[in-house]
Chains A and B, each alone.
Chain A
């Protein structure tokens, strides 16, 4: 489904990813582990075609991502769901509209009942008409997760989904993520939290790609 072939990326003159090669199959949870600056978020953004490699190539569903091909990138992005670290909900829209946004963009239709079920599932039932500024950090993360899931993505990308959350909220969100693992779609999760990585390895048989200084130093199933 996704393959990185000798991929390197630099921000200006600073290399953040060097010669990364790995493949992700059609299912399972893959954790990108490592310290801050190891290159985890860069891999998530490269997978999501927000960035383009300086060297090497990335294949998504057999298609080589072409730099600057915005139309193709948009088409591929619609097959993914992404939860960026900063969530990026639109304040002018209410929670339901934010969650439904990918459907609006793709021109697809979702039954109202499905939307409400999703909102209930993430624990924001009854608050769908509120705006993002009324949500806590954990709730914002949940809303972003629902927005990623509304299109039934073929690939789910999560960048530090539990960072900055209190232990209780983190545990609740983690149980949602573990539920998601059962949908049979690949999930790529970037985390700098070693405890979370161990937890996911133990409870969800997650494959862990460990990064250090822009290199994949360990690929442990």
Chain B
């Protein structure tokens, strides 16, 4: 059915395109920031959880400590921090205090919550030993950072829901304005499914177009920020993939909302 567009004008289309562009831009940005934060948080949490520090009362106990750690169930690995590296880490190279007695340290790859068990096991054999693990507050911070990814996803879903609501309202308004035209078209033999397609199509095309522009701009912006900062960010491919997914999702949401408005008006 090649009906002149004036017969069934989609008068709220610029609004829908604009809202879809804005909401897709927000959704893509939320998703990208969320993904980056989740990635950062996960890595931070893993690194915090992986490292435990064992401080030995004297160098003579290093081999014994390694033997005990090798037998511990939660320990995935252990390595002695060499004196030179420790000096470098503490920044006391060439400071004139090279002769200072440094503790012997072993870096242990084990979950943070195993600290007490590891310490008890080592202390039983090597008195005076100390085991430190990252603080629970840091662990919690890393966990919350990882959770921010889900908040980004929720905000993106909210943006899409906004597009759906706007498309639903615009389609409903269009159907109300075109009630007599639709009645005439049915009178002369138009099929309901053709009319439905004719009603739904502009909103899906408009919302998808808007989302493609808005999402694309956000993806490019994210890429520029990535290049301009040293923050952990996302690959360009991921950004474009998210923008594409947002465009498709917006189109689907617009389609569903317009169909729902048609069904409501038809009922």
Residues of A within 8 A of B (CB): 48, 50, 70-71, 74-75, 77-78, 82, 84, 88-90, 92-93, 97, 101-102, 104-107, 147
Q: Per-residue 0/1 for B190-208: is the Cβ within 8 Å of any A Cβ (1 yes, 0 no)?
A: 1111100000000000000
Complex-state Cα separation, A55 to B183, whole angstroms: 25
Whether A78 pairs with B7 at a CB distance below 8 angstroms is: no
Whether A105 pairs with B185 at a CB distance below 8 angstroms is: yes
Complex-state Cα separation, A107 to B1, whole angstroms: 6
Whether B186 pairs with A93 at a CB distance below 8 angstroms is: no
Whether B189 pairs with A77 at a CB distance below 8 angstroms is: yes
Closest chain-A Cβ to B195's Cβ sits at a distance in Å of 9
Residues of A within 8 A of B186 (CB): 74
Residues of B within 8 A of A78 (CB): 188-189
Closest 9 A/B residue pairs (Cβ): A78-B189, A77-B189, A74-B191, A102-B188, A105-B190, A88-B184, A92-B6, A90-B181, A70-B192
Which residue of chain B lies nearest to A100 when distances are taken between CB atoms in the complex? B4
B95 interface hit (Cβ, 8 Å): no
* Residue with the highest number of chain B CB atoms closer than 10 Å, among A71, A78, A105: A105
Assuming A105-B185, A106-B189, what are 12 further A-B pairs, CB within 8 angstroms?
A: A74-B190, A74-B192, A75-B189, A77-B187, A90-B7, A90-B180, A92-B181, A101-B7, A101-B188, A104-B1, A105-B1, A107-B1
B2 interface hit (Cβ, 8 Å): yes
Residues of B within 8 A of A74 (CB): 186, 189-192
Whether B188 pairs with A93 at a CB distance below 8 angstroms is: no
Whether A105 pairs with B192 at a CB distance below 8 angstroms is: no
Residue A70 contacts which of B2, B3, B7, B191 (CB distance < 8 angstroms)? B191
Residues of B within 8 A of A105 (CB): 1, 3, 185, 188-190, 194
- Which size bracket describes the interface of B in this complex? 20 to 34
Whether B4 pairs with A102 at a CB distance below 8 angstroms is: no
Residues of A within 8 A of B1 (CB): 104-105, 107
Residues of B within 8 A of A92 (CB): 6-7, 9, 181
Complex-state Cα separation, A147 to B189, whole angstroms: 12
Closest chain-B Cβ to A143's Cβ sits at a distance in Å of 12
Complex-state Cα separation, A84 to B180, whole angstroms: 13
With A90-B181, A92-B181 known as contacts, the answer to whether A84 contacts B4 (CB < 8 A) is no
Whether B180 pairs with A88 at a CB distance below 8 angstroms is: yes
Closest chain-B Cβ to A165's Cβ sits at a distance in Å of 21
Residues of A within 8 A of B3 (CB): 101, 104-105
Closest chain-A Cβ to B106's Cβ sits at a distance in Å of 79
Whether A82 pairs with B187 at a CB distance below 8 angstroms is: yes
- A-B CB contact pairs (8 Å), 5 listed: A71-B191, A74-B191, A88-B187, A105-B188, A107-B1
Residues of B within 8 A of A101 (CB): 3, 7, 184-185, 188
Residue B188 contacts which of A71, A77, A97 (CB distance < 8 angstroms)? A77
Whether B7 pairs with A93 at a CB distance below 8 angstroms is: yes
Residue B187 contacts which of A50, A75, A97, A106 (CB distance < 8 angstroms)? A50
Which residue of chain B lies nearest to A92 when distances are taken between CB atoms in the complex? B6
Residues of A within 8 A of B2 (CB): 104, 107
Whether A88 pairs with B192 at a CB distance below 8 angstroms is: no
Residues of B within 8 A of A75 (CB): 189
Closest chain-B Cβ to A23's Cβ sits at a distance in Å of 24
